[in-house]
Amino acid sequence: MRDRSLQKTLSGIITLALLMLNSIKAQEPFRVELLPIHIPNMPGVQSFAWGTSSDGKILIIGGRRDGLHLRRPFETFDPAYNNKDLIVLDILGNNVWTAPLTSLPTSLQEQLQSTNMQFYQRDSILYIIGGYGYSPTAGDHITFPYLTAVHVDSVVDAIINGKPFDSYFRQVQDTFFQVTGGQLGYLDSFFYLCGGQIFMGRYNPMNGPSFTQFYVEEIRKFKIIDDGTNITISDTTVWRDPANLHRRDYNMSLQIFPDGSHGFTMFTGVFQVGADLPFLNSVNVFDTGYQVVNQNIYLSHYHSAKVPIWDSAYNEMHTVFFGGIAQYYIDSAGNLIRNDSVPFVTTISKVTRHSDWTISEYKIGDMPGLVGASSEFIPALEAKQYYINGEILNLNKLPWNRRVLIGYIIGGINSSAPNIFWINDGTQSIADTTIYAVFIIKDSSEVTDIPVVPHKSPDVMGLEVFPNPATEFVLLKINPNFEDSDLTLTVYSTEGKIVLMKALSKQEMPYKLDVSKWDSGHYIIEVASKNHKTRESVTITVN
């Protein structure tokens, strides 16, 4: 009955295509549909943290109640527009409850009304790290140095029933957590705090003396030891890369990689070292390190709602991004247009990682306006059986020819025009109050997406790498009819560093590569000639 209540307004559905091009290869075909939902008294909020209760209610913490931040230091990130309430949302019940933060200790009040916190919910505990906002204690805007643990079920119950909730929050202070605009992930008992920045003072686009800014440029891997009273961290590993991890306000998503391993991808983000432009490349994060992926992504560069979708039948990982901000967009004629003002866009895009580790990008539709930036996709409790680890939608488990509710897009910035920054007086954008229910339908319909970065041309080199995994050696083999003779072999580590580079000739193929002294982990093997280049991944397991 509750599901039918979301489906009754079919005229409000925006139908999108998430189908592969027949000229490439087959995939599981499916469509995505959005249904706008309006809940009375739903506050507009963006750049917030969230958790879900065991019965599917959503707890929203922090963020802002206005739209795009203003420019002048004396008015930007005005604390009057901080989200000073805890918000509980019951979408299927069409209800919302709020409670002020004022009963909490000062340090909790200050952090939990900040923006761009990093967060992740493990079981019933939502962990919140850092965030940026005004601190009356410091007398200025700061990046907060706190880790806060929130017992979601207890807080939700207390807010709905008007009971005290102070005892369900615990906080520890450590500069290790002083980050904003990064992302927090969880995998195999470890947390991963990736990227972000330390921003102290009031924002000033002209780089005046009102602030200091330091990019973290790290991936911090650690365990949170939590006995219900005390919180400590242990088993800390830090990977630092000032060139490739110098990014913030991006999308990070849990992924299943072609070799079956799980990890994350840090998609694009802002800003490049030495240029006020977004990154076009991405970073894969594994339990052993990271790998820079130098294949451009054009259509989504800023934090937005997203959903990762796994297709086990074809060993492909799709990640769908809903609206947001980007340096590029596709016009009505299908042309890729560059705009270095990096505007708000309506684009809904899909990035697909194929079984050979290459990626393709497609425009698959449009949002119903310039919405999606700083919004969140939250999986629906009713779709729990279709998710892997509660985060990755398993496409192959979805039933055929049936609309399945998979989650909701909540909050974000709703802009009145693509480029509003330099004219923004606070009236050009708002924090969005509309919720979008997201449905998937698997059927045999065929709608062609618009490819942005076409799939690679047929691999005339025909590189083969075996055995894989390997312990002592790998054998490299190419097509014997390949015409180019002079080759270069390059091996990259997961950190994107060159492990080996040497010249080869076609006559040396098959080539036996000794890996017995390498560290265990993932590597990318690249063989290039003057006119062609191909890559294959290999896993090395050293006894």
- pLDDT tens string 316-356: 999 999 999 999 999 888 889 988 889 999 999 999 999 99
CATH of the domain at 527: 2.60.40.1930
SS3 539: strand
Assigned domain for 410 exists: no
Q: What percent of the chain has pLDDT over 70?
A: 92
**Residue 410 token pair:** 């909540």
Rounded Cα gap, residues 380 and 45, in angstroms: 19
* Cβ atoms of 447 and 419 closer than 8 Å: no
Assigned domain for 517 exists: yes
Residue 183 has pLDDT above 60, yes or no: yes
Confidence of residue 35 (pLDDT cuts 50, 70, 90): very high
Domain stop point among 248, 269, 287: 248
Assigned domain for 4 exists: no
Return the pLDDT at 16: 38
Task: Residue 443: name the closest of 392, 399, 407 by CA.
Answer: 399
Confidence of residue 72 (pLDDT cuts 50, 70, 90): confident
Confidence of residue 453 (pLDDT cuts 50, 70, 90): low
Return the pLDDT at 6: 43
| Structural domain for 486, as ranges | 464-540
* Cβ atoms of 432 and 492 closer than 8 Å: no
Rounded Cα gap, residues 78 and 89, in angstroms: 25
Assigned domain for 42 exists: no
Assigned domain for 334 exists: no
Domain count, the chain: 2
Return the pLDDT at 196: 98
Assigned domain for 499 exists: yes
Return phi, psi of residue 95, to 5°: -130, 155
Rounded Cα gap, residues 542 and 471, in angstroms: 5
Return the pLDDT at 446: 57
Return the pLDDT at 509: 86
Residue type, 387: Y
Residue 10 has pLDDT above 50, yes or no: no
Domain stop point among 248, 266, 287: 248
121-154 in b/e form (b: 16+ CB < 10 A) is: beeebbbbbbbbbbbeeeeebbbbbbbbbbbbbb
DSSP state of 9: -
Assigned domain for 115 exists: yes
Domain stop point among 248, 282, 315: 248
User: Of the given ranges (21-30, 300-309, 436-445), which has the lowest mean pLDDT?
Assistant: 21-30
DSSP state of 202: -
Assigned domain for 55 exists: yes
Rounded Cα gap, residues 254 and 377, in angstroms: 13
Return the pLDDT at 444: 62
User: Of the given ranges (62-76, 151-165, 440-454, 469-483), which has the lowest mean pLDDT?
Assistant: 440-454
| pTM given for the model | 0.80
